Structure formats: structure tokens, C-alpha cells
Structure 1
Amino acid sequence: MFVIFGAAGNVGRVSAAALRRAGREVRAVVRHARQGDALAEIGCEIAIADLLDPASVAQAIEGAYAVQILCPLPHADADPATAMRRMIDVSANALRANPPQRVLALSDYGAEHPSGTGITTLFHLLETQLAPIDSQLTFLRAAEHMHNWARVLPIALARGVLPSLHHPLSKLFPTVAAEDVGLLAAELLLDDRPAKVSPRVVSIEGETRVSPFDVARTLGALAHRQITAYEVPRGEWAAMLHGAGLSENHARLITDLYDAHNAGRIDVETEISERRYGATALESVFASILARAAETSAVNADAR
């Protein structure tokens, strides 16, 4: 049994589908029953679990051959870092108590740093907590997800300005499509060759690094309008993030992360990482986001 946590998310659903296509039994772990409908249709067993609830996590991994673990940042929590640390503790304790043969943890570029990287510091904690588990362990470190730009695309389309915390706007940074992360995760879980080292560290990013200028040009070409990249001044970050509804604690995690990005600390750890590259281009991801947004608008219009 292959157990996929976060199976309704952008990465997890791709991993679950790939494993089903390979003929494997998959237990798709979701938080709410309605999230499991599409996964059940492709033959997944559905498990409901809350990563803050030790009993439900322990039940979800029962009988697993392999587990793909994801501890997401709980955006709605007033103190998301504390909540994510609790998720990590619960997950690691469950896996230590009942270790499957294989564990793959979804992690981030920069996770080798113990401090000073905002959200990514939490992925360092995840890797540290999982390291003692008696399993064949893989850390799949992904570059920034292309889909993250979806948060500011409505602003860019409405105003013709794409706000960026990446400084300077000409700087190239690694990014990757969630679909490519999910496909590689499934491939690594299916790789039954004995690991040379454990934990095995694998990195993934897109074939081409991009700058905020590139992001703005790509969006503008798809939307058939001029989009200009805008370097949000460092002193305005907190106010902008608070205005977007983020708590003070959440905003601090974001600002610390982009300070680290802009200082060059968030990148692949070349000395130990096996490097992989995703084939999905930024244009493809943005086209999909825009298509879904158009479908949603059409549905809402019909409902009025």
C-alpha cells in the first residue's frame, strides 16, 4: 500500500494518479471526505486524517509499504509555524512508531539551513525529525512552485502590474510545476533499487530559471495585455501581506523567506543532492490557472 498525505493537493493528486497508473494500491489521505471523491474514482482507498491528530495519522499509515508525507503550512492559523511544528511532531512520531519500508518527504530548496529562512526553516525541522526513522528515506526538495504566482495574478490582470518580492527583478530564480514534483515523487517511491545513502536528497526545478520580468512577460502574452513587473520595496512587504489577510506571524515567515531568497540562500544543495528537472513550462502552468479562473467566472455569472 502506498499512502499519500495531502492527496487532494497539487502535488499529492498527481502522485496518487501516477501510482494508480502503475497498478499500485493507493491510500489517499485527505482532511475532508469531499476531497476524496475524484481520488476514489481512480481507485484510491480514501482515509480521513488530521495531521494534528496522532490517532488518525497512525491509522492512515497502518499497513503501508511506502508513505509520501507532506506537512503544509496552515495558512488560516494565527501562528502557522507553531501549528506546522505540531504536524511535524505528530507525523514523525507516527512513522517512528510504525516505520514503513519507504518514506518520501516533500521538502524545499534551502532546507539544509537550520535558521533564517522563514517557512523553509520548518522544512529543515521536518527533515531533522524524520532522519532517525528506520525506513529508506528520501527528501524531495522542490524549488518555488510556479502555482504560487496564482495569488497575485488577479492583481496583475486588474492593474497591469505584477508585484514581486524577488529582488532585483532581473535576478533568475529556480521554480517548478507542482505536477512535475508529483510525478517525480511517484517515480522515486516506485524505484525499488537499494538506496546508496539514506536519507537520499533529490532536488527538482524547471528546465529554465526565470526572473520576475520573465513572469510578467509570460502572463502578459497569455492575457494579451501589457504586464509590468514591480519590485515591492522591502519596507512595504509587511503592510502588503497584512492587507492580503496574512497574520503577523505568517507575514514574518514570508518576509524572512524572501530575504533569504534575495540573499542567495535558497537554492539547490549541489554537494549532496541528485538534481532533476521538470518539463512543464511556466506558460503551461499560467494557462491552466487562467483557464480555471475563466471557468469559475463563467459558472458564477450563470448562477447570478
Structure 2
Amino acid sequence: MFVILGAAGHVGRMSATALRRAGHAVRAVVRDEKQSAPLAAIGCELAVADLNDAASVARAIDGAHAVQMLCPVPRAHADPAAAMRHMIESGVAALRAAPPRHVLALSDYGAEHPDGTGITTLFHYLETQLRTVDSQLTFLRSAEHMDNWARVMPAALEHGVLPSLHHPLDKRFPTVAAQDVGLLAAELLLDARPPRMAPRVVSIESQERVTALDVARTLARVSGRPIAAREVPRSEWAAVLHRAGLGERHARLIIELCDAHNAGRIDVEAHVSERRFGATTLAQEFAAMMPRVTQAAHVPAVR
């Protein structure tokens, strides 16, 4: 039995779908029963669990030989870092009590750094805590997800300006589609290599790195509207993030992460990581996102 925690998200749903297509039993774990219909439709066993409660997680992973672990950043929480650390501790406690053969954790580029990287330090904490679990461990570190641009795309479509915290605008950075992360996660869960003492670290990004200028040009091409990239002055970052719906502490985590990105600290840990590359291009991902983005922006879709 494969257990997918966070199965309602883009990555988890793709992992569950790939495993089911391969004929495997999957228990899809969601936090709300309302999220379960698409997963039931592909033949998943369903479980509802509170990732903040170790007993709830323990019930969800009971009988699993492999678990895919996702700890989402609690965006709505006043202190998302503290909330995510608690979630990690609850999940790890359940895994430590009844360790499955294999645990795959969805992590982040830069997770090797213990500090100075904002949100990414929470993935360092996740990896560190999981090392206390007596299972074969795989850390799947992904680059920045392409759909993160959805936060600012509605405003970009309305005003023709794409704000970027990536400085300078022509600096290349890695990115990846969530569906490619989910597909690779399923592949790694199915990989029957002999157990190893150290965790297996695998990185994934798209085949081409992009710049903020590329992102604006791609959005313009997909939407059929003129879009120009704008380098947001650092003094304005907090205001931009607040307008995107992030609270004060969450915004600070993003700001610290962007500072680390712009300083070149967030990248593949090349000497320990197996490198993989997703097939989805930025244009393909933006085209798939466009219907919901145009609806949020209250502008008609281009036909």
C-alpha cells in the first residue's frame, strides 16, 4: 500500500494518479472529505487526517509500505513557520512509531542550509527530523514551482506589468511544474533499489532555466496581452506580498528566501543530488493555468 499525504494537492494528486495507473493500491490522505472525489474516481482508498495530530497521521499510514510526505506551508496561519514545524513533528512522530519501508519527502532546493533561506529552512527541518525515522529515506528537492506565479498573474493581466522579486530581471533561475514533481515522486517510490544507509537526495527542475523577462514574455505570448517584467524594489517587497494575501510573518519568510535566491544560495546541492529534469515547459504550464487566472483577473480569455 502506497500512502500519499496531501493527495489533494497538485503534486500528491499526480503521484496518486501515476501509481494507480501502474496498478498499485493507493491510500489518498486529505484534510477535508470534500477534496476526495477526484481521488475516489481513480480508485484510491480514502483517508481524512489532520497532519497536526500524530494519532491521526498514524491511522492514515497504518499498513503502508511506502509513504509520500508533504508538509504544506500553512499560508493562513499567523505564524506559518511554527505551524509547519509542529506539523512536521506530528508526522515524524507517527512515522517513527511505525516506520514504513520507504518514506519519500517532498523538499526544496536549498534544504541543505540550516538558516538564512526563509521558508526553505523549514524543509531543512523536515529532512533533519526525518533522519530519526528507521525507514529508507528519499528527499525529492524541487525547484521553484511554476504555479507560484499565479499569485501575481491576475494583476499582470489587468495592468500589463509582471512584478518580480527575482533580481536582476535577466538572472536565470530553476523552476519546475508540479505535475513533473508528482510523476517523479511516483517513479522514485516504485524504484526497487537496495536499501542504503544515507538518504537518497534527488533534485528536479525543468529542462531550461528562465529569467523574469522570460516569464513575462511567456505570459504575454500565452495570454495574447502585452506584459512587461518589473523589478520590484526590495523596499516594496512586503507590500507586494501583503497584497497577494500573505501575512506579516509569511511575507518575511518569502523575503528572506528571495534574498537567498538573489544571492545565489538556492540551487542544486550538486555533490549529493541525483539530477532529474521535468518535461513541462513554462508555456505549457501557463496555458494550463490561464482559465483560472483569467477568471481571477476578471478579464476575458483570449480565443
Provide, for residues 136-173 of structure 1, a one-character-per-residue CA deviation record: whole Å limited to 9, x for no partner.
10000000000100111101100000000000000000
- What's the counterpart of residue 13 of structure 2? 13
- What's the counterpart of residue 231 of structure 1? 231
- What's the counterpart of residue 201 of structure 2? 201
The alpha-carbon distance between structure 1 residues 248 and 294, as it changes in their structure 2 partners (threshold 3 A), is closer
Q: Take 2:225 and 2:38, find their aligned partners in 1: how far apart are those partners?
A: 35
My pick for the range that moved more, 220-229 or 265-274, is 220-229
Q: Take 1:114 and 1:81, find their aligned partners in 2: how far apart are those partners?
A: 14
**1:191 maps to 2:208:** no
Contact 1:138 1:198 in 2 (8 A): no
- What's the counterpart of residue 172 of structure 2? 172
Q: Give the drift of 1:197.
A: 4.8
Provide, for residues 238-295 of structure 1, a one-character-per-residue CA deviation record: whole Å limited to 9, x for no partner.
1222233321111100100000000000000001000000000000100001034457
- What's the counterpart of residue 96 of structure 1? 96
Provide, for residues 89-130 of structure 1, a one-character-per-residue CA deviation record: whole Å limited to 9, x for no partner.
001111011000000000000000000000000000000000
Q: Take 1:191 and 1:221, find their aligned partners in 2: how far apart are those partners?
A: 39
SS at match of 2:10: coil
SS at match of 2:208: coil
Provide, for residues 174-201 of structure 1, a one-character-per-residue CA deviation record: whole Å limited to 9, x for no partner.
0000000000000000011214453000
- What's the counterpart of residue 39 of structure 1? 39
Q: Take 1:161 and 1:34, find their aligned partners in 2: how far apart are those partners?
A: 36
State the aligned residue count: 299
SS at match of 2:167: coil
Q: Take 2:23 and 2:255, find their aligned partners in 1: how far apart are those partners?
A: 43
Q: Take 2:95 and 2:223, find their aligned partners in 1: how far apart are those partners?
A: 46
Q: Take 1:132 and 1:41, find their aligned partners in 2: how far apart are those partners?
A: 36
Contact 1:2 1:64 in 2 (8 A): yes
SS at match of 2:230: strand
Gaps of 5+ in 1: 299-304
**1:72 maps to 2:48:** no
- What's the counterpart of residue 301 of structure 1? none
SS at match of 1:181: helix
My pick for the range that moved more, 244-253 or 29-38, is 244-253
- What's the counterpart of residue 84 of structure 2? 84
My pick for the range that moved more, 105-114 or 236-245, is 236-245
The alpha-carbon distance between structure 1 residues 252 and 294, as it changes in their structure 2 partners (threshold 3 A), is closer
The alpha-carbon distance between structure 1 residues 294 and 240, as it changes in their structure 2 partners (threshold 3 A), is closer
Gaps of 5+ in 2: 299-303
Give the % identical residues. Answer: 69
RMSD: 1.5
Q: Take 2:226 and 2:85, find their aligned partners in 1: how far apart are those partners?
A: 42
Give me the TM-score of the superposition, normalised by structure 2. 0.96
- What's the counterpart of residue 159 of structure 1? 159
Q: Take 2:297 and 2:154, find their aligned partners in 1: how far apart are those partners?
A: 12
Q: Take 1:224 and 1:277, find their aligned partners in 2: how far apart are those partners?
A: 28
Q: Take 2:176 and 2:245, find their aligned partners in 1: how far apart are those partners?
A: 26
Paired letter, 2:215: V
Contact 1:153 1:162 in 2 (8 A): yes
Structure 1's consecutive aligned runs of 4 or more residues displaced over 2 angstroms after TM superposition are: 195-198, 242-245, 291-298
**1:25 maps to 2:32:** no
SS at match of 1:11: helix
